[in-house]
Structure 1
């Protein structure tokens, strides 16, 4: 579904990510982990089209997306949920959802489908998004992204600053979506427990390079911690 080949990117002339090779299969959840400054968010921004590639390629389902702008990548099936529970704070939760759904076929049905995934949002549709808790805003942000009917969902630190019970809900939803079929997930996450529970495979970044990769499982946490401490 997603393949990165020798991808390098950064800010201005300063590279942050160096020669990343990464792939995600259909209906697969892949986690990218690493300490702050490892290049995780920079990598996601390049995949989403918000940063240009200095070198290498980004392919979605076999199509080269490297030079396509972010809006073209959304149309092709990418959805990016950035770090920080971002939303239009002055709009209600319902207006946030309708803003994305307007103009789409079956827009109301798409909204209803996301409210079924995140039922805690239903009683909050009339409340300003800026007044929601961090966990509620994160659920709203993911619901908005899913309204675009993506084939690849890109999540940057979805559990940051969120209470544990909501973390468990988001984990269950992400895993359930992938198992349902038709959606792959690229997940950047500092919470090792969440990442290794939700993901099928992992990559560890260190100084903008892949330090370790493999399948999640009983020994994965030890390998990840070792790679992060080298």
Structure 2
């Protein structure tokens, strides 16, 4: 579904990615792991078009989207959930979802489906997003992305800084989405066990380079932990 080939990217004169190649399987999950500063968020921002690569290509379902703007990528079925449980804090939970659904002929149904995945949001529909807990805001951020009915979902540290009970809910939802098909996921994640349960393919980044890659699954977890410990 998504293929980044030999991508070099960075900020001003500070290179971050040095010839990175990552492939996301259709209707599957690719996990990117690495320590802080390895370039994981930069990789997602480049995939989403928020950062232009210095060189290399980005293909979405075979189409070269390297030079397309973020909104053009959204129109082709991409959705991005950045770090930080981002929301519109002065809007209610329901208004956050409706803002994304407006103008979509299937908006009402898409909101209902997202709320089915995160039932707690239905109970909090009238509460301002700024008053939600970190875990609830993260569920709202993922739900808001799903309202767009994406073909490809980019998730940046979806379980970071969240209480363990909510982490389990978010993990189970993402695993369920991956199992039901129709959605590809590029997942940046620190929790190795979750990432390897979800992914068909993994990539370990170190200093902007892929240092280890292989098939996902629990049997690869130890190899990933060893790669991260180097």
TM-score normalised to the size of structure 2?
0.97
Greater Cα offset, 208-217 or 219-228: 219-228
Q: What's 2:222 paired with?
A: 222
Greater Cα offset, 39-48 or 170-179: 170-179
Q: What's 2:184 paired with?
A: 184
CA pair 219-64 structure 1, distance change in 2 beyond 3 A: same
Structure 1 segments unaligned to the other structure (5+ residues): none
CA distance in 1, matches of 2:148, 2:69: 17
Q: What's 1:30 paired with?
A: 30
Q: What's 1:69 paired with?
A: 69
**Count of aligned pairs between the two proteins:** 230
Structure 2 segments unaligned to the other structure (5+ residues): none
* Residues 134-171 of structure 1, C-alpha deviations (whole Å, 9 max, x = no match): 11101100000011111000000000111112111111
CA distance in 2, matches of 1:210, 1:189: 15
CA distance in 2, matches of 1:225, 1:209: 17
Runs (4+) of structure 1 exceeding 6 A deviation are none
Question: RMSD of aligned C-alpha atoms?
Answer: 1.0
Q: What's 2:165 paired with?
A: 165
Deviation of the 1:229 alpha carbon: 2.4
CA distance in 2, matches of 1:132, 1:83: 16
CA distance in 2, matches of 1:37, 1:68: 26
3-state DSSP class of the match of 1:85?
coil
CA distance in 1, matches of 2:89, 2:217: 39
Greater Cα offset, 95-104 or 158-167: 158-167
Q: What's 1:200 paired with?
A: 200
